[in-house]
Amino acid sequence: MSFLNSYIYYIGAFGLILVGLYIILVKHNLIKVIVGLGILDTGVNLFLISVGYITKGTAPIFSRPGINSEHMVDPVPQALVLTAIVIGVAVLALALSLAIRLYQHYGTLNLRKIREQKW
Amino acid sequence: MSEVGSLSNGVNPVLLIAVPLGLAFAIPLFALFWKGAAKYIPPAALAFNLVVSVLLLPQVLEKPVIVSIGGWQPPFCINLVAGPVGVLFSAIIALVGLLVSIYALDYIKEGPTEKYHMLYLLLLTGATGVVLTGDIFNLFVFFEILCISSYALVAYLRDKAGIESAVKYLIQGAVGSSLLLIGIGLLYGQFGTLNMADIAEKIASASPISLFVPMVLLITGLGVEAAIFPLNAWLPDAHSSAPSSISAILSGIAIEVGLYAVARVIFTIFGASSILLFLALLGIVTLLIGEMCAFSQNNIKRMLAYSSIGQIGLILFALAIATSYGVTGGLFQLVSHTLAKALLFLAAGYMIYQTGSLQISALEGMGKKMPLTCLAFTIGAFSLVGLPPFIGFPSKFLVVRAALATKETYFIVLICLALLCTVIEGAYFFRVVQVLYFKGGKTNPGPKEAPVTALIPMFIFVVLIVVVGIYPKLVTDVLKSAASELLSRTEYIKAVLGSIL
C-alpha cells in the first residue's frame, strides 16, 4: 500500500496519458480525438504537478514566521502547468474550430472517410 | 532586466523577440484604423530583426551574449543565449521571413488578411525564440507559438485540402508537444532545473538508464516538427495545401527550427554520442523515403514538400556525423536548403496562381510566358540538386567530405546512398525544368509574369544562392563557429553559468 500511496499521482497521470493516446489512435470521430487530446493534456499537467508535490505541503510563501521551507511544494511546476494549460486551451480551441470547418466541407467528422490527401 | 556578460556595447538580443511579438499583437489595432497597414508591419519588424542579428553577429562570434530576464542569475532565471548558432539562425529567419513577407504583399489578397499577417509574424517570433532561448521550458513555449500559428496558417485558405491537412498536422503536432512536455517534466524531476546549461552540467551524475526515457521523449516530440522519418506524415499535406508563401516558411524555417531543437537536445543537453549512429541511419532513411516519394508526384507542391523531407534527412545525417566538418556541413546544407526551397515555393506559387493548376503537366511552356519566374525556379532546383556554381554544391560537397573524412565504413556506405538520392532528386527536378522550357509550343496568351513584389524577393534569393555558391567563404566562418558551439558542451555551460561557477 505504501507504494500506491507514494506513487498514486504518477499512476493517475500516466493512466490519463495512456487513455488519451489510446483515444487519439483508435477513435474515428474527430470530436472524440479532440477529447483524447484534452485528456492527454490533463495527464501531462497532473504529471508536472506531481513532480513538485509534497504530501501535506504548504504554499511556497513566507507569509507567517515559523514556516519551514522544507514543507513547501515546488512552485516551478505549477507555473509550468499554468502555461501548459493556456497552450492546451489554445490548441483545443483551434482544433474545434477546424472541426467545424471540416464538417462544413465533408458533412462528416469520421476521419476514416476524409481521405483526399494521400501519399 | 539585468545583463550578464559583455553587453556594454551593442544591442540586446531580447529585442529580436520583443519587437516582432509586440508588433504582431499590434497588427489588429493598426488594422482598425487602416486595413492596408497590416501587410507592411511584418516586413518592417523582420527588417529590424535582420539588422539587429547582423549587428550582433560579430560580437557573438567572440563571446556568446547571455541575457538574464527578471533580475536573477542563471540558472534561476529564464535566459537567452545568443551564441553563434542562435544569431545565425535568427538572421536566416529574419532574412527569409522578410523576403517572403515582401512576396506576400501582393500574393495574399483573399480572406482575413490582417490575421494572416499577425499569425505570420507570430510564427517567425516563435522560431526566433526557439533558437535564442537557453531554457528548455521556454523553448517549449516558443515551439508552441510556432506550431499553433502554423496550424492556423495551413488552414488559411479554408478549402477542403487545407482544413484536412491542418487537422492532421494539429493532431500529430499536439501529441508531439505533449511528449516533449513529459520529457521536460522528467528532466525537471531529476535535476530540479530547467536551464539547458544547468541540466547539461548535472547530467553527468545521472544514470544513463534514467536519461534514456526523457531523451527519447524529447527527440520524438521535437522530431514531429522536424519531420524525421516515421513522424513526418503530416508534412506533405500541410506544406502542399498551405498558401505558397506559408509553404516557403514552413519548408524553409519551421522544420529547420525543429531540427535545430533536436540538435540542441542531443549535443548540448545530453551530449549523447551513442544515439548518433542511429540518427545517421534515420537521416538516410528519411532522405530515401522523401526523394522516392517526391519522384512519383505529379503535384508540384507535393513534390517540393517531399523533397524537403529528403533534405531534412540529409541535414540530420550530416549533423549526426558529429565532427566539426560534419556539423558545419549540416548547417551549411540547412542554409542552402532554406534559401533554395523558399525560392522554389515562391516561384511555384505564382506559376500555380497563373495556370490555376497544381499539376506539373500544366506548366508546359511556362518558360516562355513567365521567363523570370521560371529562371528563378530553375536556379532553385539546380541549387537543391547540388550543381555548381549554386550554393547547393559547396554545402553538399562539405557533407560528402565530412562523411568520407570519418573513414568509417558505416558513414561511407550511408553517404553513397545519399548520393544515390541526389540522382533521384536530379531526375525529378530536371523533369520539371524540361516541362517548363522544352514542352508545349502553344502560344496562347495566358499567364503573365509575376508582379514586381514577387520578383524582387526571388531575385534576392537568386543573388544569394549564386554569390554564396561562388564564395562559400562568406558564410563558412560563421558556420564553423556555430558548429563548434553545438559540439563543445563545456564551452556552452561555462558561457551560461560562468558567473556562478
Q: What is the pLDDT of residue B365?
A: 82
* pLDDT tens-digit series, residues B417-432: 999 999 999 999 999 9
Q: Where would I find the beta strands (DSSP E) of B77-122?
A: 78-82
Is the pLDDT score of B249 beyond 80? yes
Alpha helices in A27-115 (DSSP H): 30-51, 75-106
Tell which of B167, B195, B224, B235 to mutate to test the A interface (max A CBs under 10 Å): B167
Distance, in Å, from the CA atom of B432 to the CA atom of B280, rounded to the nearest integer, reads: 30
* Helix B452-470 and helix B371-385, axial crossing angle in degrees, nearest 10: 30
Task: Of B82-86, B305-309, B352-356, B401-405, give the lowest mean pLDDT range.
Answer: B352-356
Q: Tell me the average pLDDT across B317-327.
A: 93
Q: What percent of chain B has pLDDT over 90?
A: 71
Q: Return the SS3 of B415.
A: helix
Minimum-distance CB partner of A98 among B167, B182, B237: B167
Identify the pLDDT of residue B9: 54
B108, B309, B377, B394, B497 from B104: Cα distances, Å: 5, 24, 18, 30, 42
Q: If you count residue pairs, one on A and one on B, with CB atoms under 8 Å apart, how many are there?
A: 90
- Residue B318 banded pLDDT, cuts 50, 70, 90: very high
Residues B174, B250: Cα–Cα separation, whole Å: 17
How far is Cα B238 from Cα B236, in angstroms, rounded to an integer? 6
Range name among B200-204, B362-366, B443-447, B487-491 with the lowest pLDDT average: B443-447
- Tell me the average pLDDT of chain B: 90
**pLDDT of amino acid B430:** 93
Where does the pLDDT of residue B441 fall: very low under 50, low under 70, confident under 90, or very high at 90 and above? low
Q: Which residue has the cell 540529409?
A: B314
> Which residue among B137, B141, B165 places its CB closest to the CB of A117?
B165
Residue B129 has a CB neighbour count (10 Å cut-off) of 23
Mean pLDDT, residues B398-409 = 93
Chain A nearest-CA distance from B149, in A, is: 10
- pLDDT number for residue A71: 79
How sure is the predictor about B218, in pLDDT bands with cuts at 50, 70 and 90?
A: very high
Sketch out chain A's domains with CATH numbers: 2-56+72-106 (1.10.287.3510)
Q: What's the grid cell of residue B68?
A: 538574464
State whether A94 and B171 contact (CB < 8 Å). Answer: no
Cell of B286: 528519411
Is the Cβ of A19 closer than 8 Å to some Cβ of chain B? no
- Mutate which: A23, A33, A48, A85, vs B, most B CBs within 10 A: A48
C-alpha B253/C-alpha B421 separation (Å) is 23
Is the pLDDT at B196 greater than 80, yes or no? yes
pLDDT, position B2: 41
Q: Please tell me which residue of chain A has the smallest CA distance to B294.
A: A119
What's the predicted TM-score (pTM) here? 0.94
pLDDT above 70 covers a percentage of chain B that reads 96
pLDDT confidence of residue B445: 59
What per-residue confidence (pLDDT) applies to A15?
A: 95
Contact A37 B174 (CB under 8 A): yes
What's the pLDDT tens digit per position in A43-99?
999 999 998 888 777 777 777 777 777 778 888 999 999 999 999 999 999 999 999
pLDDT for the residue numbered A3: 75
Q: Quick check: B491 contacting A, CB < 8 Å?
A: no
Query: For position B442, what pLDDT does the model report?
Result: 62
Asked if A83 lies within 8 A of B170 by C-beta distance, the reply is: no
pLDDT per position as a tens digit, B359-389: 888 888 888 888 999 999 999 999 999 998 9
Please check the confidence at residue B213 and state whether its pLDDT lies above 70: yes
Relative to beta strand B2-4, strand B65-69 is antiparallel
Render pLDDT for B328-341 as a digit per residue (tens, 0 to 9): 999 999 999 999 99
Delimit the domains of chain B by residue range. Answer: 273-470
Mean per-residue pLDDT, B289-298: 93
Is B141 part of the contact surface with chain A (CB cutoff 8 Å)? Answer: yes
Closest partner residue to B161 (CB to CB) among A48, A83, A116 is A116
Query: Looking at beta carbons, which residues of chain B come within 8 Å of A110?
Result: none
Strand (E) or helix (H) holding B89: helix B84-107
- Please give the pLDDT value at position B282: 94
**pLDDT tens figures, B130-175:** 999 999 999 999 999 999 999 999 999 988 899 999 999 999 999 9
Q: Is residue B6 scored above 50 in pLDDT? A: no
CA distance A1 to chain B (A): 23
How close is the nearest chain B Cα to the Cα of A5, in Å?
18
Assess contact for B309 and B236: CB atoms under 8 A: yes
Looking at residue A66, what is its pLDDT? 72
Q: Distance (Å, rounded) from C-alpha A81 to C-alpha B333?
A: 37
Residues of chain B contacting residue A48, judged by C-beta atoms under 8 Å apart: 181, 185, 188
pLDDT in the model for residue A118: 64
Asked if B163 and B155 count as a contact pair (C-beta separation under 8 A), the reply is yes
